[in-house]
Amino acid sequence: MDKSIFYTRQKKIGQKLKQIHHWNAALFTFLAFTGLILVSSDFRQWLPQVRIWVKDSHIWIGMISVLPLVIYGPKMVRHLQTLRKRKANRQNLYLVLFVLIALTLSGFVLTFHRNFSPGFGSFALIVHDIMTWFGVPYLIYHSITRSQWFKAIEKRRLKKIQEKRMVIEKGNPIMNRRTLLRRGTGATIALIFTPFIYQWIKPYLGTTTSQPSSPLPLTETFSPLPAPAPSSKPPIGGGRRGNFRYYTVTTMPEVTDENFSFTIDGLVNQPQSWNWKQFVNLNRDVQVSNFHCVTGWSVYDVTWEGIKLKDLLDLAGIKDGAKQVKFYSQDGVYTDTLSIEQAMDKNVMVAMLIDGELIENRNGGPVRLIVPDMYAYKSVKWLNRIELIDHEHTGYWEQRGYSKNAWIKS
């Protein structure tokens, strides 16, 4: 490929279109690569700070990628005129433009999701997912089959066929080399992406089963089990709508009824500590709320059962000097905070059950914090300690660029 095509000013319409196509392909390749990194749970776990940088670069390049589309706009009419007798090429052009525009618009909403309702953000995420898992493989196929090196391979094969003077009649079962090469490329891309597409689409097919992360299901490892309240099972919310996406910044801790502990300490009048049997016997409340992740997905009408954080703090007694409530995860890494005022909100809960079942390990169970009016990075998983402190503390993801203002736009 002649690299000067990227920076040399072109005068002819054909060369201009070719230049736009090359720039668009280069930007899209970068976005596809960084996008696959962003959906990788392993990358999130082992290189969280690098993931933030990748996310920022993905957003900025995504904005820059709008320029080729803007430049192409005025030239589209002339381009379509050159394709008026090539129906397949026109259809391909429409499909490529549709995928690129859908990715751009949905990406814009996801970038500035705090300015939109959670429902609209969830819709944008679904669109972005569909365009990623179905549109991206097609665009990769499109880029490969229209590249100079691919066309050179086709020409070499065609030349060999002509030299052999091989006759392929209508009823001949032998496929011509050009078709074979293109179909082979498409099949290879499909095979690579199929496992990822299946993992994405599986929750929507209703084929998922509860796959606990511990060696044994939580219902077998914990004794006694908390008996759900009548309003918790069946859930008064009618059962949650949507699917959780399970993220972790470390390996998931193996929490059992033997190693479980829950403490409240720091600037309190009466420090508290419970083992599993004691914690199960605390009085619990039931609430229905929506769960919103900062990455754009949501789960609606979730019935949670647990202890109001306000009740736990009242039990321990808050000293006058306390300013922040700090939450610790049993993974030994994740922490976050709420102000005293935020922590005393009636909707903030230390939850044990979801829709009448003990919260499973991969979802932060058996005990996790639920802050319905804030994004989920405030809802600390595997919660085992609450500390009252007199200074400001920056949480795990906030240290890595997330906003301390986690409030969700209503």
Residue ranges in the chain whose pLDDT is less than 70: 1-11, 148-149, 154-155, 157-178, 180, 196, 198-200, 202-220, 410
Residue 130: in which H helix or E strand, if any?
helix 118-130
Q: How many CB atoms lie within 10 A of CB 206?
A: 6
Residue 370: in which H helix or E strand, if any?
strand 368-370
- Classify 48 in phi/psi space as left (phi over 0), alpha (psi -120 to 50) or beta: alpha
Please return the burial class of 283, using the count of CB atoms within 10 Å of its CB with bins 0-12, 13-18 and 19+: exposed
- Residue 337 in tokens: 């905070």
pLDDT digits (tens, 9 = 90+) for 189-206: 778 777 767 666 766 665
- Residue 320 in tokens: 């006058």
Going from the C-alpha of 67 to that of each of 21, 23, 61, 146, the distances in angstroms are 12, 10, 10, 21
In degrees and rounded to multiples of 5, residue 263 shows phi and psi of -130, 150
pLDDT digits (tens, 9 = 90+) for 249-305: 888 888 888 999 999 999 999 999 999 999 999 999 999 999 999 888 899 999 999
What's residue 158's pLDDT?
63
What's residue 406's pLDDT?
92
Answering whether pTM is above 0.85, one says no
Q: Angle at which helices 136-145 and 13-38 pack, to 10 degrees? A: 140
In one letter, which amino acid is 12? K
Please return the burial class of 277, using the count of CB atoms within 10 Å of its CB with bins 0-12, 13-18 and 19+: exposed
- Residue 40 in tokens: 């990788």
In degrees and rounded to multiples of 5, residue 363 shows phi and psi of -100, 15
Q: Tell how strand 285-292 and strand 298-308 pair up.
A: antiparallel
Asked if 335 and 393 count as a contact pair (C-beta separation under 8 A), the reply is yes
Angle at alpha carbon of residue 196, lines to 190 and 199, rounded to 5°: 130
